[in-house]
Amino acid sequence: MTITITAFERSPDGGQGLARDTRVRWALEEAGQPYDVRLVSFAAMKEPEHLARHPFGQIPTYEEGDLALFETGAIVFHIAQRHGGLLPGDANAQARALSWMFAAVNTIEPPILDLTIARIHERDKPWAEARLPLVKDRIRERLKQLSARLGEADWLDGAFSAGDLMMVSVLLRLRASGLLDEYANLAAYVARGEARPAYKRAFAAQLAINAPDRARS
Amino acid sequence: MTITITAFERSPDGGQGLARDTRVRWALEEAGQPYDVRLVSFAAMKEPEHLARHPFGQIPTYEEGDLALFETGAIVFHIAQRHGGLLPGDANAQARALSWMFAAVNTIEPPILDLTIARIHERDKPWAEARLPLVKDRIRERLKQLSARLGEADWLDGAFSAGDLMMVSVLLRLRASGLLDEYANLAAYVARGEARPAYKRAFAAQLAINAPDRARS
């Protein structure tokens, strides 16, 4: 059955790979699964046809036969459960990988989303400058704990898994802020993720849509 | 094998059931599984022994034989996969239930966490009052979409599932703000969750620890 995902017709990040379709593309590349992409405009994302697939009017979505999914974490886990390359074989280790997937989106990502709000949505507010250090310190608190847990290991729990895929993807959003580079082992961890051939293919695929001139050069 | 979870020695909410151990207790009650509780103080949560179980120094954790898990979503999904009562039998419907679990913690909960930050952590900041309407409007945007999707249905996707358990638990955090009551079908949805015998047992169990006088009356 053909797998079809949705992605931004034009990503707000201009091809940096930070839109969430990159996470799903990466998972499909790790799993060796071909896929089609349906591009949606910002206007189309709020139309009933897309809202039927994604109740919050976002991307990505995932369709395969009569299955339709939304939420990147659920899509990546679905791919990981059905194909090789993203989950350990042991049931307990699989459950721990899901712990890291949830940690990525529920513990690490919320303060990072807050930074986007502070820097973009509330950029022109009178409190913008004064509030930024508080937002950054809440991110640092989480990064310090994550750095302590990762230590000198390559990945969070044994071999590379869907937990690492989600965590690296979330941490990538921090690169421009410089916060990631304050934790050398986390910066190296993210670089290991980006060096994976499957990540490179996923990144190139989204770049070809969002910045075709750069992708061809 | 005995299941042991961790919970606050004294919850910051004084027994309102908003601490995340209530979500795990609720799942265990729906699944009909007995469990032990180890209470941890705020000081003990930052000690190496607890950090080995939970890298971010939070509750709840879940131990069963040689399996140790953290992150509420992963724990609830683990319980749901191994016991009846929380997931549909069909594989596609299971994947959709996980979509709703991720939506609860990654799409609905982040703006709600932001409200806690605005109201508690940044309460004394000069921007507190002026910023609050922005934070509330970001929550309303998500509630409006969720309300539209739920419509007149009892639960998000067919029968009650772990997706509803997580979504109701996240929405409960909004009750005190009055925002939930702006969406009558969501308020009724949350009330349906609270009316479940398993939720009532979970709520009573955390109340007995956090407000023993109220629990006995």
Average pLDDT for B85-94: 95
List, for residues B54-69, the tens digit of each pLDDT value: 999 999 999 999 999 9
Q: Which residues contact A181 (CB under 8 A, 6 or more apart)?
A: A187
**Residue B72 sits at the chain A interface (C-beta within 8 Å):** yes
- How many Cβ atoms from other residues are within 10 Å of residue B123's Cβ? 10
Residue of B51, B62, B106 best to disrupt the A interface, most CBs of A under 10 A: B106
What is the nearest CA distance from B35 to chain A, expressed in angstroms? 19
Q: Does B210 lie at the interface with A, CB-CB under 8 angstroms?
A: no
Residue A217: pLDDT band (50, 70, 90) is low
Four-residue CA torsion sign, B17, B23, B28, B29: positive
| pLDDT of the residue at A213 | 84
pTM: 0.97
Determine contact, residues B50/B44, Cβ cutoff 8 Å. yes
Question: What distances in angstroms separate CA B128 from CA A17, A76, A188, B53, B176, one per listed residue?
Answer: 34, 38, 38, 35, 18
Rounded mean pLDDT, A147-170: 98
**Helix (H) and strand (E) counts in chain A:** 11, 4
Q: Look up the CATH number of the domain holding residue B152.
A: 1.20.1050.10
Are A113 and A204 within one domain? no
In this predicted complex, what is the ipTM?
Answer: 0.96
The Cβ of residue B14 has, within 10 Å, a number of other Cβ atoms equal to: 11
Banded pLDDT at B217 (limits 50, 70, 90): low
Is a pLDDT exceeding 70 seen at residue A106? yes
* CB spacing of B148 vs A113 below 8 angstroms: no
Q: Which two tokens stand for residue B183?
A: 């969406």
User: Residue B175 gets which letter from DSSP?
Assistant: G
**CATH number for A70:** 3.40.30.10
SS3 call for A86: coil
Same domain, B143 and B106: yes
A103 touching B (Cβ < 8 Å): yes
User: Does the beta-carbon distance from B92 to A51 stay under 8 Å?
Assistant: no
- Please list every residue in chain B whose beta carbon sits closer than 8 Å to the beta carbon of residue A72: 102, 106
What is the spatial distance between Cα A35 and Cα A25, in angstroms, rounded to a whole number?
8
Chain length of chain B: 217
B52 shares its domain with B105: no
> What are the tens digits of pLDDT across the range B19-68?
999 999 999 999 999 999 999 999 999 999 999 999 999 999 999 999 99
With an 8 Å Cβ cutoff, is A176 touching chain B?
Answer: no
**Which chain B residues have a beta carbon less than 8 Å from that of A78?**
95, 98
Our CA-based measurement puts residue A216 at a distance from the nearest CA of chain B, in whole angstroms, of: 35
Statement to judge: residues B81 and B155 lie in one domain: no
* Mean pLDDT on A182-205: 98
* A120 shares contact with chain B (CB less than 8 Å): no
Q: Closest to A95 (Cβ–Cβ): which among B69, B122, B130?
A: B69
Q: How far apart are the first and last CA of chain B?
A: 34
Are residue A182 and residue A209 in the same domain, yes or no? no
Residue B206 binned pLDDT confidence (cut-offs 50, 70, 90): very high
| Average pLDDT score over residue span B80-96 | 95
Smallest CA–CA separation between A67 and chain B, in Å?
Answer: 6
Instruction: Give the C-alpha separation, A153 to A174, whole Å.
Output: 21
Distance CA A146, CA A184 (A): 12
Q: How big is the A-B interface in CB pairs under 8 Å? A: 140
* CB proximity B52 to A under 8 Å: no
Q: Alpha helix (H) ranges present in A90-196?
A: 91-102, 109-116, 128-150, 162-172, 184-194
| Closest chain B residue to the Cα of A112, Cα to Cα | B110
B45 and B97 assigned to the same domain: no
**Closest approach of A208 to chain B, Cα-based (Å):** 28
Note whether A153 contacts B: Cβ–Cβ < 8 A.
Answer: no
pLDDT digit string (tens) for A6-30? 999 999 999 999 999 999 999 999 9
Say if residue B185 is in the same domain as residue B99. yes
> Are A95 and A186 within one domain?
yes
The average confidence (pLDDT) of chain A is 96
Q: What is the pLDDT of residue A198?
A: 98
Q: For residue A2, what is the DSSP state?
A: -
Q: Does residue A204 carry a pLDDT above 70?
A: yes
Which of A24, A50, A71 is the best residue to mutate to test the B interface, defined by the most B CB atoms within 10 Å of its own CB? Answer: A71
User: Which chain B residues contact residue A114 at CB under 8 A?
Assistant: 110, 114, 117
Residue B207 has pLDDT above 80, yes or no: yes
pLDDT over 80 at B205, yes or no: yes
Structure tokens at A163: 């937990």
Name the pLDDT band for B126 (thresholds 50, 70, 90).
very high
In terms of domains, do A175 and A203 share one?
Answer: no
Residue A194 has pLDDT above 90, yes or no: yes
The span from the first CA to the last CA of chain A, in angstroms, equals: 34
Single-letter amino acid, residue A176 = A
- Nearest CB to B113; choose among A56, A110, A145: A110
Residues B10, B104, single domain; the answer is: no
Mean pLDDT of chain B: 96
* Pair (A9, A80) in one structural domain: yes
Mean pLDDT of A135-154: 98
Instruction: Indicate the number of domains in chain B.
Output: 2
At B99, list the tokens: 């979509």
Choose among B95, B100, B109: nearest Cβ to A78: B95
Closest CA to A111 of B167, B67, B92, B121: B121
**Residue where the block lists tokens 């986007």:** A116
Are the beta carbons of A98 and B78 separated by less than 8 Å? Answer: yes
Find the domain containing B26 and state its range: 3-85+198-216
Mean pLDDT across B158-170:
98
Q: Are both B15 and B79 inside the same structural domain?
A: yes
> Nearest-CA residue of chain A relative to B111?
A110
